[in-house]
Copies of this chain bind each other. A is one copy, B any other.
Amino acid sequence: MEEKVLLGHGNGGKYTQRLVKELFHHYFRNDLLDEMNDAAGFSTPGERLAFTTDSYVISPLSFPGGDIGKLAVCGTVNDLAVSGARPLYLSAGFIIEEGFPMASLRQIVQSMADTAKVAGVLIVTGDTKVVPKGCADQLFINTAGIGVILPGADVSGSYARPGNKIIINGTIGDHGMTIMARRSELNFNNLLRSDCAPLNGLIQELLLDVPGIRVLRDPTRGGVATTLNEIAVQSGVGIALDEDSLPVQGSVKSACDILGLDPLYLANEGKFLTVVPQPQVEAALNVIRKHPLGQDAAVIGEVVDGPVGKVYLKTGIGGKRIVDVLVVDQLPRIC
Contacts and interface: CB of A to CB of B under 8 A. Distances in A.
Interface in A108-157: 124-127, 129-132, 134-137, 140, 142, 144-147, 149, 155-157
A307 interface: no
Interface string A28-44: 00000001111111111
Contacts of A221: 10-13, 16
B95 A55 contact: yes
Contacts of A35: 156
A155 B82 CA distance: 35
A327 interface: yes
A53 B218 CA distance: 24
Given A83-B41, A125-B52, A332-B131, A95 B144 contact: no
B11 A332 contact: yes
A292 interface: no
A298 B10 CA distance: 29
A52 B326 contact: no
Nearest to A149: B41
A51 B326 contact: no
A260 B132 CA distance: 23
Given A37-B157, A51-B89, A93-B53, A326 B11 contact: yes
B132 A135 contact: no
Contact of A51 (B39, B55, B56, B131): B39
Contacts of A125: 51-53
Interface residues of A, number: 84
A213 interface: no
A39 B91 contact: no
A179 to B, nearest CB: 13
Contacts of A226: 12-13
Given A55-B95, A94-B55, A83 B12 contact: no
Nearest to A47: B44
A13 B92 contact: no
A91 B44 contact: no
Contacts of A142: 53, 55, 93, 127, 142, 144
B41 A327 contact: no
A3 B134 CA distance: 25
B332 A10 contact: yes
B95 A57 contact: yes
A25 B313 CA distance: 31
B157 A12 contact: no
Contact of A38 (B38, B39, B52, B332): B52
Contact of A14 (B52, B89, B326, B333): B326
CB-based closest 8 A-B pairs? A12-B221, A13-B326, A144-B144, A12-B222, A39-B52, A53-B91, A142-B142, A39-B83
